[in-house]
Amino acid sequence: MINPMDLTDRTILVTGASSGIGRETAILLSQLGARLILVGRNREQLEKTLLVLDGTAHQVSVFDLSYVDDIPRWMKEVSSANGPLDALVHSAGVQFTRPLRIISFESIDALMSINVSAAIFLAKAFRQKEVCAQGGGSLVYLSSVMGLVGQSGQSVYSASKGALVTLTKSLALELSRENIRVNCVAPAMVRTAMSEKMLQLLTPEQSEKIEAMHPLGLGNPEDVANAIAFLLADTGRWITGTTLVVDGGYTAH
Catalytic machinery residues:
157
Which ranges of 83-203 does DSSP label H, i.e. alpha helix? Answer: 105-112, 118-126, 155-175, 193-200
Residue 117: DSSP 8-state: I
DSSP 138-162: EEEEE--GGGTS--TT-HHHHHHHH
Chain centroid to Cα 45, Å, comes to 17
Cβ-contact 155, 112 below 8 angstroms: no
Cβ-contact 242, 141 below 8 angstroms: no
Specify the length of the chain in residues: 253
The 10 Å CB-count burial string (b at 16+, else e) for 219-231 is: bebebbbbbbbbb
**Sheet with strand 180-187: strands edge to edge:** 59-62, 35-40, 11-15, 87-90, 137-142, 180-187, 243-246
Spatial separation of the C-alpha atoms in residues 204 and 194, rounded to whole Å = 17
Cβ-contact 214, 188 below 8 angstroms: yes
Q: Which residues pair with 38 in a beta bridge?
A: 14, 60
90 three-state secondary structure: strand
